[in-house]
A and B are shown apart, each in its own frame.
Chain A
Amino acid sequence: MGDFFTTYRDPEILEKLAKKIGDYKGRKINIMEVCGTHTMAISRYGIRSLLPESINLISGPGCPVCVTPVFFINAAINLSSRKDTIITTFGDLMRVPGSESNLLQQKALGRDVRVVYSPLDSIKIAKQNKDKNVVFLSVGFETTTPISALTVLNAKDEGLKNFSVLSANKTVPVALEVLAMDEDIGIDGYLYPGHVSAIIGTGIYEELARKHRIPGVVAGFEPLDILNGIIRLSENINQNNIVVENAYQRAVSKEGNPIAVSKMYEVYEPCDSVWRGIGNLPMSGLKIRDEYKEFDAWKVFELEQKVMEEPKGCLCGEILKGKKKPSDCLLFGKACVPESPVGACMVSSEGTCAAYYKYNF
């Protein structure tokens, strides 16, 4: 087995695949990827600049940062203002705008907000600070949620009384279904998220393909994986092969990871969930079960989950679904820029609008 970092980044093979995509002569197609990390990788490797006009690559609502509702950030800021509270969070959330501020600004004001690499690091912090409440801000899809669940289980085992989790976790399948049904978008094929699939397996995509006649390819995140995934998908679409191909077999199996899924559902259960810019998608979210309520920060601190309206003129909802382009939004590049984002799509540095802003030569 070769070195991962060179094998899947071999410039000679990349050149061949880039040429193959550039030579695409099939019909005009819409491909959607629904993983923030795919959006990031596509941007990082400049893959959009290699695609012909006839392949329209849409970045769907796959970034948990972009789809986290404003009330979550407001609740986190509210908690951080308490003198006896330490907030632990992934770095991704630090610059997400709430109604009036963001966590990075709160940190600058002296609030105890700490970036962690792993939710499990929060346990150590809770043990070292028994006189404080430690709250971990939990966002993410099925790749990350099992780790939040594990953190709760470990906290319970350790008998921690000063730790809780503020959750806004979501699941991908409902969104995939809703988007597939939307005729205005007209998705011809899905580039499936490799690491979510490593957890949930590929069975559900096959159902989706059958029901909505949409082929898909499960792809990894190295540039070879992504280019190969797009080529395989465009070939299947043109040949009308309604199949789901697993092109990330070194990490993804049909069954996925049952241990991770089981731990996830031991702590969490499905619930309705608001996706910023899209609205409520039934049973698309995950909330902490009653048996673990002492670790559910929403309950422990009696926080409100009040849905707020998107700022006037913000087209994020349509952009996240691929129905409109950033340039269609009147706020884009004027009131809404990366340094001071208004809507969800500009918030993440690789959200659709942020990515377009960057590419606006």
Chain B
Amino acid sequence: MCLALPGKIIQIEGKTSIVEILGVKREVSMELIKDYEVGEYVLIHAGCAIQKIDEEEAIKTEELFRELKELSDG
């Protein structure tokens, strides 16, 4: 019940936005979130943005995973 993807806001039109995921676009409702801008990422579920992606946290998580990559085996 949770199939949701991160999409990039390409265009804002009133209460909806066009978001882009891997080159495909769809209009989604933005009525469940606030304070968003073109260029930011949101989590899309069933035609609606349900949460903003926290870019700082995303970068921290990526760094954590990169560190795991560098760790030697054993």
Contact = CB atoms under 8 A, between A and B. Distances in A.
A146 B50 contact: yes
A37 B31 CA distance: 24
Contact of B48 (A5, A16, A147, A196): A147
B29 A120 contact: yes
Interface string A147-191: 100100000000000000000000000000000000000000000
A1 B59 contact: yes
Interface in B7-46: 22, 28-29, 31-34, 41, 43, 45-46
Q: Which of B34, B55, B65, B73 has the most CB of A within 10 A?
A: B65
Nearest to A250: B58
Contacts of B43: 195, 198, 251
B1 A143 contact: yes
Given A10-B65, A13-B69, A251-B43, A118 B48 contact: yes
A39 B4 CA distance: 14
Interface in A21-59: 35-38, 40
Contacts of B4: 143, 195, 198, 221
Interface residues of A, number: 52
Contacts of A250: 53-55, 57-58, 61
A7 interface: yes
A193 interface: yes
A253 B69 contact: no
Interface string B58-74: 11111001101101010
A151 to B, nearest CB: 9
A361 interface: no
Given A147-B46, A195-B43, A36 B54 contact: no
A199 B51 contact: yes
Interface stretch (A73-81, A235-243, A257-265, A322-330): A257-265
A62 interface: yes
A146 B32 contact: yes
A17 interface: yes
A65 to B, nearest CB: 8
A2 B62 contact: yes
B1 A13 contact: no
A146 B51 CA distance: 12
A118 B28 CA distance: 9
Contacts of B65: 7-8, 10, 13, 224, 228
B1 A144 contact: yes
Contacts of A199: 50-51
Task: Give 6 nearest A-B pairs by CB, closest first.
Answer: A118-B47, A195-B2, A37-B2, A250-B58, A249-B57, A260-B32
23 contacts: A1-B62, A4-B41, A7-B65, A8-B65, A10-B65, A17-B68, A37-B1, A38-B2, A63-B1, A117-B46, A141-B1, A143-B45, A144-B45, A147-B47, A147-B48, A147-B50, A195-B2, A195-B50, A196-B2, A250-B61, A257-B51, A259-B33, A263-B32
Given A13-B68, A260-B32, 8 more contacts: A2-B62, A7-B62, A117-B47, A118-B29, A118-B48, A120-B47, A120-B48, A259-B34
